[in-house]
Amino acid sequence: MGTIQYGDSSEIHIEDRALAHLKVAIATKLRRNESFTLSWKHPEGDAPGRSTIWLHPSIPLRFTFETPENPQLNAKWVQTLMMEASSSGGITLVDEVVDTPVEIDASALADLGAE
């Protein structure tokens, strides 16, 4: 479980893989001097509920990861986070956006002459 330390506020706990994707989106927006909100549901073990913070380029920000390796990033998830950051609602941390493969029956392939 990684953390975001934003200004003088308490640590925000976020799973490492999600944090790696958030880091890319957040750093890109802040590098452009763009402010936005970040919202998330509190993880198990924290007080129940959800929180939102206003991210601004002038406020110190630190990302800390539990694992030393950089995960392979999912471009679609980063793109989704970037689009949300540009919206009036800001980023709402959600599960990873994954393209699920479509199962195709072998007989359907045979009918198409693909076998």
Calculate the alpha carbon distances from 72 to 16, 53, 85, 94 in Å. 12, 27, 21, 18
pLDDT digits (tens, 9 = 90+) for 50-97: 999 999 999 999 999 999 999 999 999 999 999 999 999 999 987 776
DSSP secondary structure, the chain, as one string? -EEEEETTSPPEEE-HHHHHHHHHHHHHHHHTT--EEEEEEPPTTSPSSEEEEEE-TTS-EEEE-SSSSPPPP-HHHHHHHHHHHTSTT-EE--S----PPPP--HHHHHHTT--
pLDDT digits (tens, 9 = 90+) for 86-111: 999 999 987 776 654 444 455 544 54
